[in-house]
Amino acid sequence: MWRAPAFWQHDGGLPRLLSPLSAVVTGATALRMRRDGWYCPIPVICVGNATVGGAGKTTVALDLAQRLVGHGWAVHVLLRGYGARTRGLRWVEPGDPVAEVGDEALLHAAVAPTWTCADRRLGAQAAVAAGAEVLLLDDGLQNPGVQKRCSLLVIDGATGFGNARVLPAGPLREPIAAAAARCEAAVLIGPDQTGALERLPATMPVLRARLMAAPDAAALKGQRVLAFAGIAIPDKFFASLTDAGAEIVRRIAFPDHHMFRPDELTAVLSQAEQIHALPVTTAKDAVRLPADTRSRVSVLRVNLVWEDTMAPERLLGDVINGWAAESRYRRTYS
C-alpha cells in the first residue's frame, strides 16, 4: 500500500521545492483543528503522532488498553481502520475479515471492544451508548471530531520527525509545535537517535519505552529465519528478531499494511524452504495472512517496556481521577 519516500528523512532540494504545498497542508490542518469537537461524557485518551505511520501508536494504545482492562474499566477502542473497506461505523469482531476492518482493528479487538469509523464523533457516541467507561483513540490527534481528555504524542526514536517538514515535503502531518501543544506528554519508543526531543517544548513530560520480544520469542533463539513484514518501519521488526537471538538469513520488506497476494506468500514460503529458514513475521502482518498460511509462519510478538514502570499507571490514574473531579464539579455547578 504505502512506503515512505527516502527524502523524508533528509532535507534538500526536493523538500524545499515541495515546501509551498506543505504550507497548504499546514494551513488546512490548522483550519480543521479550530472546529469544536463533541464533548464526550467519558474520558477520552488519544494516542497519536505528528508523522505519517511507523511511530508506534498502536503498540502504545494496546498497552494502555490492556492496563485499563486489567483495572476493570470498560474501555472501548476507536480507530479509523486504515485500509479497511468499511468506512462507516462498525463494531469489530476478532474473526472479521481483515480487508473489511483493517489489521490494527483486529489487534485491538482481541483486547477490548473495538470500533472503526472515519467519523470519530459517530464512533464515540456508539461506544458510549454501548457502555464504554473510557474511550481510547488509536490515532486521531489531527481529527477534531471528539474532545480529548489526554493526548499522547508518540515518537519513534530511530526516525524521529524525519526532516521536520510537513507533507508532502516531509513526514509531518502538521508542524511539531502544533501537535505538541495539544498533547499532555510525549512517548519516546527507543533511544532518541535524531534529536527529536530537542524539538519539543522544554516543559513537556516525556515517557520513555522500548520494544522487547515477548517471552515466546525464546523459541526463535539460534534459529535461521526468513523475516518478512509489511509495516512502516520494517527495520524495527528485524532489530527485534536479532535481539531475540534469531539469525536472519533473508529480509523481505513489503509496503505498510500490505495485503499479501497468494503468489507473494507462495514465493516467501518457497524461499524459506530453499534456504532452510523459518518464515517469521509480525503480529500485525499475521492477521493479514490467510489461515492456511498463518499456520506455516511464526510470529514475533513484542511488548512495550517502560523505563519508569509506573509512568503509564500514573498517567491513566491522573486521567481517570481528573475526569471524575471535573464531572463532580459539572454536576454541582451546572
CA distance 78 to 48: 12
Selection from 241, 311, 297 nearest residue 264 by Cα: 297
Q: Where in the chain is the domain with CATH 3.40.50.2300?
A: 215-300
**97-155 pLDDT, tens per residue?**
999 999 999 999 999 999 999 999 999 999 999 999 999 999 999 999 999 999 999 99
Q: Which amino acid is at 211?
A: L
Selection from 127, 141, 129, 184 nearest residue 50 by Cα: 141
Q: State residue 81's pLDDT score.
A: 87
Q: State residue 179's pLDDT score.
A: 98
Q: State residue 32's pLDDT score.
A: 97
Q: State residue 1's pLDDT score.
A: 52
* Residue 326 CB neighbour total at 10 angstroms: 12
Give the fold, CATH level 3, of 6-210+306-327.
Answer: Rossmann fold (3.40.50)
Q: State residue 166's pLDDT score.
A: 98
Q: Which amino acid is at 207?
A: L
Q: What is the DSSP string of 41-109?
A: SS-EEEEE-SBSS-S-HHHHHHHHHHHHHHTT--EEEEE--TT-S--S-EEEPTTS-HHHH-HHHHHHH
pLDDT along the chain (334 residues), means of 10: 83 96 98 97 97 93 98 97 82 94 96 97 98 97 97 97 98 98 98 98 97 95 97 94 97 94 97 98 97 96 97 96 81 70
**219-228 pLDDT, tens per residue?**
999 999 999 9
| CATH assignment, 215-300 | 3.40.50.2300
Q: What is the DSSP string of 124-167?
A: HHHHHHTT-SEEEEES-TT--SB--SEEEEEEETTTTTTTS-BT
CA distance 160 to 330: 40
Residues in the chain: 334
Residue 261 neighbours by CB under 8 Å, 6+ apart:
none
CA distance 113 to 300: 24
CA angle 77, 153, 65 (to 5 degrees): 25
